[in-house]
A and B are shown apart, each in its own frame.
Chain A
Amino acid sequence: MIDQDVLERVLATAVRTGAEFAEVYAEDKRSTSVGLDDGRVEQVTSGRDRGAGIRVIKGDTTGFAHTADLSEAGLRAAAEAAAAAASQGGGGTRTIALTRGAERVVSPVLQFPDDVRKADKVAVLQRMDEAARSAGSSIVQVSAGYGDSRKHMLVANTDGVFITDQQVRTLVRVTAVANGDAGMQTGSQSAGHTMGFELIGHVDVEALARDAARQAITKLNARPAPSGALPVVIKQGSGGVLFHEACGHGLEADLVAKGGSVYRGKQGQLVASPLVTLVDDGTMSGEWGAIAYDDEGHASQYNVLIEDGVLTDYMWDYLRARKEGRPQSGNGRRQSYQHLPMVRMTNTYVLNGASEPGDIVRATEYGVYVAKLGGGSVNTASGDFVFGMTEAYLIENGEITEPLREGNLIGNGPQVLSDIDLLGNDFAMSNPGTCGKDGQGVPVGDGQPTLRVKSMTIGGTAA
């Protein structure tokens, strides 16, 4: 994308006014998306995003500029703008020598998206549409989407780091609407991996579509969710977002440093039920949050955040690690070359426990079984979080019984973590997610085995 000697000169320009650190992040991304709705392929979209972001750090100030012009002149202009933004004076000349980092493959790709005919991509959606519609006569509407991207990226900085990588992602999603006597209900499913077109086949897209339709149909007979505090059993691979929200964000070092996290100063302390071991793992091959290098050029890692309930470490990016004089953890990520990196999760999950999932339900007299969680959000300072249950059932006398209408679940992160009293042995990853923080979205994964929380507040309307 950019020659090494050009990068060295651009970085030298960026630190000419006396900054301690400068970095070039460049990307060239091609993407395709297809939307099918109402039985029609509405539109195939092709996109191209290409440019570089230049970051300059002087003291506690970060200057940042980006450009779509990858010529040496364009990069130098951006470097000067970033340097001016970071500082008002000083000076000096530094020579930058980059050392090319090893090629690193975390998610091997078999079939690159640019080698696949658009017609084949479109056909996937038609199969999904047909599968969802044939799932039942009450299905009145189906929408489906396919998206892929191939991003070449490059990171070079004044510490001599120089890496290139390519990230390939492919995703399918489907939403079905069922109509019944009491109105409409929806069901949705998605699958996404850091792989190419081999996703289709790796994932049974027709089964995915049928499952979306099944959810919508099931909910036609759903009764209002209960209101108040109850035991909640969360199905394997459907509730990793709970950990992402309830404690993941609170373990991001940038939030911790400013005192915006309930987990500040809790290292070495028991912060969760001793059943819980929580990991953030950028190296989990093929998963949605997998990366070979983070967006600051640091190799991805397997980081244990909570071990047997004890807080072991936070997640780190370059800036926070530098301040604390400790190593980065491969969690410096950004949405695009137009954004500054910050501490972000990758694949965040809870390791297996010992219980049989069926025993967890049987041990619950009256409660809620959540088969699918929707999105959520957290206030990291108070720990209060909320997320939607998009597929849930009542548990009565140790058995899963009636379907429930949609609603939010709320709780407090530290409280819920210590209230996990049963943990299954059936670990699975959840649907692909996009995590939003400070206006930037990045792809993340999450997962967990079936588990029970002693008590959570269900935001339904039934007494």
Chain B
Amino acid sequence: MSAAPDTSVLQDIADRVIAQARAGEQVEAFVSRDHETDIRVYEGSVEHFVSAQSEGIGIRVIRDGRTGFAYAGTLDPAAIAEVLAEARDNVEFGTHDEWAGLAEPDGVDVVEQELWNEALAGYSTDRKIELAKELERLTLGVDPRVRVDDSNYADVAVESAVATTTGIRRSGRENGCYVSISTLADDGDETQTGFGFSVGRSPEMFDLPKAAKEASDRATRLLGATKPASRRLTVVLDPYVTAMFLGVISSTLNGEAVAKGRSLFKDRIGDQVANPIVTLVDDPTNTLAYTATDLDGEGLAARRNVLMDNGVLKSFVHNSYSARRVGARSTGNAVRGGFKGTPGVGCLALQLMPGTRDQDALVADVADGVLIQSVQGLHSGVNPISGDFSVGASGLQITNGQVGAPLREFTIASTLQRMLLDVVEIGGDTDWLPMRAAGVSLVIRDITLSGA
């Protein structure tokens, strides 16, 4: 977050709350306000236009190792008083936990990031609408088989402030925008779908032709796809799919899951858990990352952490609570979803250190495989505790190093443990997607494909 004069109002509110702390109490106040615009265009006209502002406060009180929390979606002074009273009351029902406590300043320097863009703040409504219309026009121009389901422009600006009785006091603001489009492609009775998007700190950073092309290609490439025969083979994951896969891996490296005995990697620090070519880093200070940030959800400096180094498990990610439980220091990985909850633990900007070759070269080495372009059911078919991995997928057949016919309605399965060891090669094509993990082409062998 970048400091800005506007956020002083929110900081004052947070400061006033913690000033009311009683002896023996730790108090944290998190205050935020956001403004968002959401425009949807269909067939050249505006289907909906949403202009919305919301604000709220969450207050955490800890006393005698017991925690209580309350929130309200308003900054009305009477409501804030009620929230503090509720949080205090809720303390009574928590179980004593010797590790409970707020974060404390740890002396790690903040790497400042440019998170506020003035050009976006001043961008006119008409031009925002025009962007969504233009994306729709461009997409319809790529391929006659493609229809547009909806074309969208959205932006959000968030200001927030946090204050604790342990000495954390931070405020800042951040904004960003994106355009997205959903497509349908028809061929006879068959309909397939696609999507495209472009993100940026300001609309000047959009690449509309690329978003249009991807939205069109994603929908058309599956037309005429068939169901492949079941077998074991090598897969090449598209960067977008790899990013989703890394999202799953990140939950196994969550320090809280580890502390509670719920990670398949507990007790594995120092072990070779992945192929030696795998080096996995979480680095929110990398300005290229879409989720780059300077502070974590507890107000500590965001920082670079190496999680796997040449396949060896080096570290988990922690917030101050999970760190205290395992006798470590916070890695600056507290994640806060807004004022309605307390910070959890998570990776902020995960990246697989890239190799050197492009996707075509990776594919050229595969005799019998599939280029996986999309997966479905990650939330239902992957269990980060047992490691079972099974997802629906679609993609392109690879035969003797060449991509061929489209395939759909099949699953790919293995276990997370095996997949990390079965990594064959990492591409050199890192793609900074609007996710908490960067994309890169990834080759994994010995995957079970279930189809016809």
A interface list, Cβ under 8 A from B? 34, 37-51, 59-68, 81-82, 85-86, 118-119, 122, 140-141, 177, 179, 183-186, 219, 225, 227-229, 258-260, 262, 338, 340, 374-377, 379, 381-382, 384-388, 405-408, 410-412, 457-461
Contacts and interface: CB of A to CB of B under 8 A. Distances in A.
A199 B67 CA distance: 26
Interface in B303-344: 340-342
Ordered nearest first, which 3 A-B pairs have the shortest CB separation? A459-B411, A388-B380, A408-B381
Nearest to B222: A382
A181 B230 CA distance: 29
B261 A406 contact: no
A185 B386 CA distance: 5
Contacts of A410: 376-377, 392, 409-411
Task: Decide if the interface of chain A is mainly helix, strand, loop or mixed.
Answer: strand
B386 A186 contact: yes
A183 B94 contact: no
A68 B55 contact: yes
A376 B107 CA distance: 45
Contacts of A386: 376-377, 380-381, 391-392, 411
A141 B95 CA distance: 17
Contact of B260 (A38, A61, A118): A38
A405 B386 contact: yes
A119 B381 contact: no
A400 to B, nearest CB: 21
A68 B82 contact: no
Interface residues of B, number: 81
B69 interface: yes
B413 A61 contact: no
A338 B54 contact: yes
A42 B95 contact: yes
A149 B56 CA distance: 19
Nearest to B91: A44
Contacts of B68: 43-44
Interface stretch (B40-48, B164-172, B270-278): B40-48
A144 B93 CA distance: 15
Interface in B377-396: 377, 379-381, 383, 385-388, 390-392, 394
Given A376-B380, A460-B413, A260 B149 contact: yes
Given A43-B342, A48-B83, 9 more contacts: A48-B73, A60-B45, A81-B51, A85-B51, A229-B452, A375-B380, A377-B376, A388-B379, A461-B413
A336 B365 CA distance: 51
Interface in B105-152: 147, 149-150
Interface in B82-106: 82-83, 86-87, 89-90, 92-97
A34 B230 contact: no
A387 B192 contact: no
B160 interface: no
A60 B46 CA distance: 7
A13 to B, nearest CB: 16
Given A227-B413, A260-B149, A386-B381, A42 B94 contact: yes
Contacts of A44: 68-69, 90, 93-94
B46 to A, nearest CB: 5
Contacts of A43: 67-69, 90, 94, 342
B93 A40 contact: no
Nearest to B72: A48
A41 B52 contact: no
Contact of B87 (A37, A46, A81): A46
A109 to B, nearest CB: 22
B448 interface: yes
Given A407-B390, A459-B381, A259 B376 contact: no
Contact of A375 (B46, B48, B90, B379): B379
